[in-house]
Amino acid sequence: MSHPTVDPIKAEVVARHLIATSEEMSATLMRTAFSPNIKERADCSTAIFDAQGQVVALAQRVPVHLGSMVGVVEALRERFTPADMQPGDMFAANDPYHGGGSHLPDITVIAPVFMGAEIVAYVANIAHHADVGGMVPGSEAAVCQTIFQEGIRIPLVRIVRAEGVNRDVLDLILLNSRTPEERRGDLQAQFAANHVGIQGVHSLFERYGAAETTAHIAAYLDFTERRFRAAIAQLPFGTYVDADAIDGDVEGSTVAIQLAMTVGDERLHFDFNGSGPELKTARNIPYRALLATIYTVAKSMLDPDVPANAGYYRTITVDIPPGTVVGPVPPAAVGARSLSCGVLGDVIAGCLSQAMPEKALARSGPHHLLILSGTDPRSQTYFVNYETVAGGMGARAHSDGMDAVRVHASGASNLPVEALEHAYPLRIERYALRDLSAGTGQYRGGMGVVRDYRILADDIEVSLSSERQNVPARGECGGMAGAPGEFVLNPDQPGERQLPSAVADVPLPRGSVLSIRTPAGGGYGPVEKRGAVISERPPG
């Protein structure tokens, strides 16, 4: 589409204003949130959409949340016509099968932006709530067998009106959480973030007018599409096939993720036919999480600096067989989808690595999940501590893998020790890179993390979920696999015990130690060439 009256400099100014507004929304959300998971780990995202529901600006936080954003405006407009919406309205959702996020703890709050009687844009944010009910504290465990066990399911409902919060909806959400006051505070932070977004978008449309601003937004999306098409055009035509496996329903079993990626005329097509059947546990990858991982990995490998908006999504098509681990249907559980997305990202990167070997990436070690819950003896209040601990990135064809990082579509931070110990009856006794975990090679993989928790209360339980404890991150082109992850109870003690890769409601007596050992990335190239790599590095 051409825009002969569009000024490219003004289009950039418009885009940068919206990006800055989305970042301001994110800062507001984190600074006003109640839970450590949002205010300290930044397990949240914010975005701005045009009137048609296309993502225009996305704050750089948690890539998998992108999947929760894609299509949310479309789902809102299917449920509520523009005539049904008024200034001041906000809508909430979390159900991956009904226009919400990609698992139930992620609650999306979306608001239309009006200029007069016309909707000119939408603002939205998503925040991972530490507990939204379900059979396991924290509302996320790989052992859940249906989505009904994972927490309250919220279709798109009006949660705020111009006159204030819809108390009926709010009370329903709070009643289903083990930590209702924390949920209340986090939801209020989400409402505040959208108010900031509405103000920022208003100021832009007031400055340039609705017609001119809309035209410049459209031109910016078109520019993004052209730029990404140019990146795809550098790839050799053809179909590239890759596969890997995630843990199955039984400890030690696996199920395949299979991908055939076709490079066509400035387009990429991802075909997941051949992937294994959907699981009876919560490692299934719902549609929006699948899209988010594809978009994120493709962008990071092909053109990391391309704007994170819907323009480049237009260059990608996907074929997803229903009833598979990458195409689950209700009521399949999906809570632990981000762990599976770590392996999915490796498969996508594997196909892209074949098409662009100079930027090849070995397999990576995804984060591990732990949810500690119980009564804090200092306050006699119930707490739920949701945490994920970073793994290690695979080596590149030209550099070592990064240590202690989120991989592919994951993005939240590790919880700082000081914040953890202030908020919960826990003490971190070891927090370090995991020695000797990296896959060796000409370029080594990234190291995982060791994090040991001392329990300082009497009724603490833990739920654990992971990937790459049974199927390690393999190396490429002669590189070795990274060390698999582990959960160890009371390490180096007479009662030392290794816990399963997925388990719920394990009691942890006062004084016990839980050790989280995350998987490392695979190496690249034969280790015999390692010495040459080290000698070529500049001093320091």
Range 232-250 average pLDDT = 97
pLDDT value of residue 533: 56
Rounded CA separation 264/266 (Å)? 6
User: CB-hemisphere CA count at 13 Å for 157?
Assistant: 15
Residue 336 CA to residue 152 CA, distance in Å, equals 16
Provide mean pLDDT across the span 407-428. Answer: 94
Share of the chain above pLDDT 90, in %: 91
Tokens of 186: 């986090």
pLDDT confidence tier of residue 532, bands split at 50, 70 and 90 = low
pLDDT of residue 1: 42
Q: What is the pLDDT of residue 447?
A: 98
Helix (H, G, I), strand (E, B) or coil at 536: coil
Task: Read off the pLDDT band of 539 (50, 70, 90).
Answer: very low
* Residue 72 binned pLDDT confidence (cut-offs 50, 70, 90): confident
pLDDT in tens, 35-62: 999 999 999 999 999 999 999 999 877 7
**Residue 404 vs residues 286, 301, 397, 451: alpha-carbon distances, Å:** 26, 20, 19, 11
**Residue 16: predicted pLDDT:** 96
Q: Is residue 67 very low, low, confident or very high in pLDDT (cuts 50, 70, 90)?
A: low
Give residue 69's pLDDT.
Answer: 75
* Residue of 150, 149, 169 lying closest to 159 (CA atoms): 169
Distance of CA 441 to the CA centre of its chain: 29
- Residue 471 CA to residue 309 CA, distance in Å, equals 34
Q: How confident is the model at residue 163 (pLDDT cuts 50, 70, 90)?
A: very high
- In 3D, which of 293, 204, 243 has the Cα closest to residue 19? 204
